[in-house]
Amino acid sequence: MQTVYLSREHVADLVQVNKYKIDPSLQFISRCIDDRYHNIDHPASLALPGADPGELALILATGNLYGFEVDKVKVFKALEAVVGGTNNLQMHTDSHDENKDSFKGCGHMNQLEISPETYGLTQEDVEFVLSSFKLAKSHHAKEVVLEGQHKKNAVVIVKGNYGIMPRHYLEVNGQKLLVEVFEFHQTLVDKRHRALAQELIKNDGMKLIEGQGEESLFEAFGDIGENHLMETLRSLAKGMPIYEVKFDEEGEFKVTDLGTV
Ligand SMILES: [Zn+2]
């Protein structure tokens, strides 16, 4: 079936129906950008590539590419501390993945495993991420199993204190058509990166170059995070439209066309 790309008006329609105010107590609980989450599970608002395994990979890549000294075990502890314990760590696979000890069901983590150097990682880094989360899973970290194929209708970059549930029925030629969006929650990602930068400096998980502090680390996360997001979107869904959805405090929003992947 041909992919249906969403127009700006379609996205506005989806957001109007699917927006919800973020519960501040859940703001650091993550999920993947993956478009296959069900609305019914009320997926976490903080959407980023690969959920928490993706976040750990992002931190390690930042250390490699910026020349920061990294203590991997302490980095993992910092991530656990920021989310509020092992049982708040989130990851996912999908029903196509036969090998339950890998993250092949997550498009982002699969790309990292195939081509670590593209993401600024070594093979050893990827193995550390996989083994850390395998262990975390046995200590009640949460793994969601997603189903079906990606619909690849659009990407939305969300800004503000609202989240968007990813599934929606559009009226097309008198028919109801199920559409799903990939999401990246810029505001929550930035908030958590500030908290992570603070925690990593406090617990010596990362040692920066002299004269640099939390702000430098925060900016480096933003830089590497954008690379990781775009790298994975290009390999999963080239040509998909990208929109920014910016909320004000009342939940009113503006949708801006940012071009295509
Ligand atoms: Zn994923």
Start-to-end Cα distance in the chain: 20
Query: Is 1 among the domain residues?
Result: no
As a whole number, mean pLDDT of residues 114-132 equals: 96
For the chain, the domain total comes to: 1
Pairing of strands 154-159, 162-164: unpaired
- Asked if 141 and 90 touch (Cβ cutoff 8 Å), the reply is yes
Q: Where are the alpha helices (DSSP H) in 118-213?
A: 123-138, 186-202
98 located within any domain: yes
**43 C-alpha to center of ligand 1: Å?**
13
- Nearby residues for ligand 1 (ion, Cβ within 5 Å): 32, 34, 106, 108
* pLDDT, tens digit, 9 for 90 and up, residues 40-85: 767 799 999 999 999 999 999 999 999 999 999 999 999 999 999 9
DSSP 3-state of 257:
strand
Question: What are the angstrom distances between the C-alpha of 154 and each of 1, 104, 180, 183, 258?
Answer: 16, 22, 7, 9, 11
Residue 119 lies in a domain: yes
* Residue 38 domain-assigned (yes or no): yes
- Domain presence at residue 193: yes
- Give me the residue label for tokens 């080239």: 238
Give the pLDDT confidence of 169-184 residue by residue, as tens digits: 988 778 899 999 999 9
Give the Å distance between the CA of 62 and the centre of ligand 1.
20
**Residue 169 lies inside a defined structural domain of this protein:** yes
Q: How far is the CA of 107 from the centre of ligand 1 (A)?
A: 5
User: Which residues span the domain enclosing 204?
Assistant: 8-260
Identify the DSSP state of 205: S
Furthest-apart CA pair in the chain: how many Å?
Answer: 63
